[in-house]
């Protein structure tokens, strides 16, 4: 069973009627419900308005994969929580960053770049081309691309380090393109950025988007644990017998 924590900013849902009409129980609940249709996944939600944003030491210790949607109040996320999430990713927890999470503190921290991009809200068509049909994240999509009829445009240049793997490239009706699905590894943790999901469109109700997030969770699940820290290994604990010939200040 893969334990997924779905983090939602839960801000637009409380301030914008269009958003609460599309997502009456919040975007995070819609995403978690879609994940829980898979018997291998157990998804629960936390929201930014909770104490420690719901991301306590205990909750993160019990999380295999964290999904992150934020937009308007990234700057209100506590730095201590960002430190904690970063540590868990380096240990091996998977992280799926959704849509406007491109500017989340945790994403910029882990990637180390601006993550800036161009944008436009015109409700235009987005066509997401699959770059590698053999990748686990796109299994079950039986076409070379899929489309969303109304989305926000994100355009290049996207201020990210070169991805380890490019999963999707989007084309928008206005002509721009964007690296809308990409993966990286940091420490032992796998990171997947997946672009669609503007709050005023019903993107997280889309069956293909839901499938991609489920596939992403399965791809990002931990594989072993990366030890953090720099332990000293004394000569008599080395795997082979050695004669100490030099001094050390330690």
**Alpha carbons 148 and 93: distance in angstroms, whole number:** 30
- To the nearest whole angstrom, how small is the minimum distance from the Cβ of residue 250 to Zn ion? 51
Q: Which of 47, 100, 170, 215 binds Zn ion (CB under 5 A)?
A: 100
**Alpha carbons 189 and 89: distance in angstroms, whole number:** 5
Please state, as a whole number, how many other Cβ atoms lie within 10 Å of the Cβ of residue 216: 27
CA-nearest of 65, 67, 111, 59 to 91 is: 65
Residues 6-45 that bind Zn ion (CB under 5 A): none
**Alpha carbons 8 and 85: distance in angstroms, whole number:** 15
Residue position matching structure tokens 């820290």: 229
Does residue 203 bind Zn ion (CB under 5 A)?
Answer: no
Does residue 108 bind Zn ion (CB under 5 A)?
Answer: no
Residues belonging to the chain:
250
Binding string, residues 169-198; x marks residues near Zn ion by CB under 5 A: -----------------------------x
- To the nearest whole angstrom, how small is the minimum distance from the Cβ of residue 244 to Zn ion? 60
CA atoms within 13 A on the CB side of 9: 25
CA atoms within 13 A on the CB side of 228: 12
Q: Kindly tell me which of 72 and 131 has the beta carbon lying closer to Zn ion.
A: 72
Does residue 152 bind Zn ion (CB under 5 A)?
Answer: yes
Residue of minimal Cβ distance to Zn ion: 198
- To the nearest whole angstrom, how small is the minimum distance from the Cβ of residue 118 to Zn ion? 12
Which of the stretches 39-47, 74-82, 85-93, 151-159 binds Zn ion when contact is defined by CB under 5 A?
151-159
Q: Kindly tell me which of 140 and 174 has the beta carbon lying closer to Zn ion.
A: 174
- To the nearest whole angstrom, how small is the minimum distance from the Cβ of residue 121 to Zn ion? 7
- To the nearest whole angstrom, how small is the minimum distance from the Cβ of residue 124 to Zn ion? 13
Q: Kindly tell me which of 60 and 153 has the beta carbon lying closer to Zn ion.
A: 153
What is the Rg, in whole angstroms, of the alpha carbon atoms belonging to the chain?
Answer: 20
Sign of CA dihedral 189, 192, 193, 194: negative
Could you list the residues that contact Zn ion (CB under 5 A)?
A: 100, 152, 198
């Amino acid at each position: 069973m893969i334990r997924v924590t779905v983090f939602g900013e839960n801000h637009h849902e409380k301030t914008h009627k269009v958003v609460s009409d599309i997502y009456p129980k919040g975007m995070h609940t819609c995403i978690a419900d879609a994940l829980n249709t898979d018997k291998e996944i157990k998804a629960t939600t936390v929201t930014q308005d909770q104490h420690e944003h719901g991301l306590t030491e205990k909750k993160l210790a019990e999380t295999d994969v964290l999904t992150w949607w934020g937009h308007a109040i990234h700057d209100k996320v506590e730095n201590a929580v960002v430190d904690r999430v970063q540590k868990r990713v380096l240990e091996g927890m998977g992280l799926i960053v959704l849509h406007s999470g491109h500017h989340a503190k945790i994403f910029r921290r882990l990637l180390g770049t601006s993550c800036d991009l161009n944008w436009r809200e015109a409700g235009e068509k987005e066509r997401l081309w699959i770059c590698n049909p053999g990748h686990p994240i796109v299994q079950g999509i039986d076409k070379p691309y899929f489309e969303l009829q109304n989305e926000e445009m994100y355009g290049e240049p996207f201020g990210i380090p070169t991805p380890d793997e490019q999963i999707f490239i989007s084309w928008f009706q206005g002509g721009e393109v964007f690296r809308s699905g990409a993966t990286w590894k940091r420490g032992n943790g796998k990171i997947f950025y997946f672009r669609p999901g503007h709050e005023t469109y019903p993107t997280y109700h889309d069956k293909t988007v839901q499938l991609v997030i489920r596939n992403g969770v399965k791809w990002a699940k931990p594989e072993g644990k990366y030890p953090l820290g720099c332990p000293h290994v004394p000569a008599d604990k080395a795997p082979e017998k050695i004669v100490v010939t030099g001094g050390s200040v330690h």
